[in-house]
Structure 1
């Protein structure tokens, strides 16, 4: 494999923005890919995938390269040299890359992968927390969360069936396969930019992980109902709910971030979802107005995001123990307050993209023991672990308000 100077320099610049300036990897990649209009799809893939890989293995590579924060350009090039050496790529004779001690790099790698916190490239506190909460499962789970996530599509059944979508995509040279147990899902057989496809601009599909697609189905919605998605964000699950409701009834998509709801409005137009109304949560009054008025309520709660580390590897380095304490308190408050939107006989789903019981089962247990929770019956829950499913880690619990 021949390395091109402008591509490697882009990766190095991106690493420093992520590690030194705390920028989010996806935004850094998006900006880097605009750097040179002459880059083809292979060039763009190299920049994006190499950057994500080095971010994912930051601790391991830093230990091997004997570098740390703040990362100078020289240190960032050393990280790149470790990445290339471990993949058997011959390094060019550039002044930015010192003669690389190949044997020493491979020797240190063989030594460090015997220790989980280095092998899986995670902070000490996260390794201890994962073992405490998941026990023996943590070893397999964190390994699975370090594997690049597959690209999964959800057929927008307001416009097309899954089978027809597969045929349309094949005509557009996008190969996919069915996923057993996921009725609307198609998985790409090879990674590519599907957002430029005509099928996407026509609103035939959304990119949505298979585990995330389980949540709307878990809510057990019916056409004609009133559904409130309380933490809608950019609305991936709202759009799925709209499809399951066949555009009949009302979906109120709420969030505290107006910019995310604006993105949802754009997506609803493309998807042809006509029954979604967006509302910004500006105060507790916006929630109180809906007390006892919804057949279904989805609380896709803010969380640590540990279940989606495969697609957000930089989260490992941004997440801090004190944030987890704050987010658990936020989850308790949201569950207590937003549950009051459910009307008698209605149903509520509490969901997170976390794998930690303290954010999931324990939160539901605590809620059911509270005053507000006394009005609900526990129906069922589902925990999705990446090492079992092959997809994102997720949790969802279905509760029913007593009639």
Structure 2
């Protein structure tokens, strides 16, 4: 197995065994490797693909390792996982070559016995590629296997959205995301940035839902590009790009962003306000403030300051301070599985329920910071209704001075405008799952 596969296994080990974030550890490992751009792309494909289809892959492996699956050496198990992923989902490498490389790496990094096991399992799988590994009469098992989600998450989506919409969500969360960038019109026009990206060799398309978005279809790492380094563009999903415009921002306003790291929405707020007024960006994690400050400096923003602050703790000095308050609250992240597939395995229902109390404490504090006549925007990157609609209904019952003001982003198949005024964005090939509600204080 080539060095690229070893790097892929190393990354998966850290994600699954050490709870590392896939995007962060992938970047670190690729940067310190000496792999070619082609091999780096293959590692990225294998890592994200294996994490995405882990449930399905494990069901297949359990069919062939009937006894002792849970006792397999982690490194060996992950060699098996990336190999099944390549055989089942990739056409780039012949199956026999995948098997041979897996056996050789196991022999080198583990022992002869383990290499024989890997050889036997993979060759048995190649002989039985038409085998069914789940009960075809059980729709839950079918959805779990076909889309590679845990039963708990499949049941959650079915309970909240019904079988048909749940399957659409599962499908949407498995799309491979393109890189999307937001243009910074403080420096250049959309047309100028578009032309410069083409000059730099990028294959690009217009955004799907946001007028400020450009999709990068093909090209080198965008964060190594001069347009990014000079602050002309910011990498951001289109769902997140809709948040700041929903705040009805005006020049010279006072704005609070209570959960701001890494700063994508914060900088968007400042851009829309044309660098006027005051933007205060808070985050509980002091070490993450440097990310916001880096983005602010790179983009050329001068109206924003950053400070470490726990959004669940009330700050009396901020009472009715702000014209606009954004709370993009910490959440279960079930809407961004396209980009962080390990969320499928790192979240359980208990974790999801525990976070709701934190969200409501943030909502309660934020309500006190908004001036009368001001706007509070609540957003999440999850599709769990308890964190979305459930929290809004709780908030309105206990904060009668607020009412929902509907927002409209255009007619799109994946954007649902609820009769009560909040917006759910379903994941598709262009956008992550997201939730946005605009609230007015009387």
Q: TM-score, normalised by structure 2?
A: 0.85
1:146 has 2:174 as partner: yes
How many Å apart are 1:111 and its aligned residue? Answer: 5.7
Choose the corresponding residue for 2:142, options 115, 130, 134: 115
Query: What corresponds to 1:358 in structure 2?
Result: 386
CA contact (8 A) 1:194 1:200 kept: yes
Higher mean alpha-carbon deviation, 307-316 vs 110-119, is at: 110-119
Please list every run of 5 or more consecutive structure 1 residues that lacks an aligned counterpart in the other structure: none
Structure 1 residues 35, 133: closer, same or farther in 2, change over 3 A?
same
Q: Which residue of 1 aligns with 2:439?
A: 399
Aligned residue number for residue 376 of structure 1: 402
Query: In the aligned structure 2, how far is the partner of 1:41 from the partner of 1:139?
Result: 35
Aligned residues: 395
User: Comparing 92-101 with 150-159, which one deviates more in the overlay?
Assistant: 92-101
Which stretch of the first structure deviates more once superposed, 104-113 or 213-222? 104-113
Partner of 1:328 in structure 2?
Answer: 356
Matches within 5 A, 1:3-402: 5-37=2-34, 39-66=35-62, 68-69=69-70, 71-86=73-88, 87-88=90-91, 89-92=94-97, 93-94=100-101, 95=103, 96=106, 97-98=118-119, 100-108=123-131, 115-135=142-162, 136-190=164-218, 192-281=220-309, 287-370=315-398, 373-380=399-406, 381-387=422-428, 390-402=430-442
Deviation at 1:286, TM superposition (A): 6.2
Change (3 A) 1:71 1:116: farther
Q: Give yes or no for contact 1:216–1:241 (8 Å, CA) kept in 2.
A: yes
* 8 A contact 1:64–1:105 mirrored in 2: no
Secondary structure of the corresponding residue to residue 75 of structure 1: helix
* Conserved? CA contact 2:312–2:358, under 8 Å: no
Aligned-pair Cα RMSD in Å: 2.0
Residues 306-330 of structure 1, C-alpha deviation per residue, up to 9 Å, x if partnerless?
A: 0000000001111011111111111
Distance in 2 (CA, whole Å) between partners of 1:16 and 1:267 is: 31
Instruction: Give the stretch that moved more between structures: 119-128 or 61-70.
Output: 61-70
**Match for residue 412 of structure 2?**
none
Shift of 1:374: 1.1
In 2, the alpha carbon distance for the partners of 1:283 and 1:394 equals: 21
**Against the structure 1 CA distance between its residues 347 and 232, is the aligned structure 2 distance closer, same or farther, given a 3 Å change threshold?**
same
In 2, Cα distance between equivalents of 1:352 and 1:199 = 29
Task: Measure, in 1, the Cα distance between the counterparts of 2:312 and 2:78.
Answer: 47
**TM-score, length-normalised on structure 1?**
0.93
